[in-house]
Amino acid sequence: MPAEKATEFDVEAFYQSYWRALGSGDDAGALAHYHEDVIVRLPGDGPFAGELLNREAALLAIEQLHKVIHGFEVTLIERWTESHGFALVLDERVPGAPADRDPFRRLHVYQLRGEKIAEVNVFAGHCCDPEVTSWWR
């Protein structure tokens, strides 16, 4: 009997599933895409800044961040997918911000291990803009 050919993991389909869950407010569904021992690195000096070392800690942080950014205008500027992960560039505009104020930009880099997110690094994150992060202090 011939050996079965291994199928290549579809990072694009994985990303689409993750983004749909996150965008619909299904935080637990989004976190199902994460390894139990995921490492999430968030910048700044707020309560969730630094390294979050498991899925439960990541879920708590995401739930709290969503409470703060609910209603923000979030625009996906660019994204890349590779065999080992994906990256997203997002712009966020604070509700009621002056029209001439530049949106807040951040980059999320997701590293995969197998078919789960093993590491997330956020750059220029929420702690970089006082208008966005005043609640953290």
CATH number of the domain enclosing 104 = 3.10.450.50
Q: According to the model, what pLDDT value does residue 51 have?
A: 93
Q: Which amino acid, residue 19? A: W
Nearest to 127 by CA among 50, 16, 40, 23: 50
Assess if residue 3 is contained within a domain.
no
Per the structure, the complete domain to which residue 78 belongs is given by 11-136
Q: Is residue 132 part of a domain?
A: yes
Give, for 45, the enclosing helix (H) or strand (E): none
Cβ 31 vs Cβ 17: under 8 Å? no
Instruction: Let me know if residue 6 belongs to a domain.
Output: no
Residue 105 located in a structural domain: yes
Domain count, the chain: 1
Residue 58 lies in a domain: yes
What pLDDT score does 1 carry?
54
In a domain, residue 129? The reply is yes
The confidence score (pLDDT) of residue 67 equals: 75
What is the per-residue pLDDT for 87?
Answer: 92
Classify residue 126 by its DSSP letter: G
| Assigned domain for 1 exists | no
- State the pLDDT at residue 136: 32
Going residue by residue through the chain, which has 137 residues, state the pLDDT in tens, using 9 for 90 and above.
555 555 688 999 999 999 999 888 888 899 999 999 999 998 877 777 889 999 999 888 888 877 776 677 788 888 999 999 999 988 877 777 777 777 778 889 999 999 999 999 988 754 444 444 443 33
Q: Is residue 4 part of a domain?
A: no
- Identify the pLDDT of residue 4: 55
How deeply is 33 buried, as exposed, middle or buried, from its count of CB atoms within 10 A (0-12, 13-18, 19+)? buried
Q: What is the pLDDT of residue 13?
A: 96
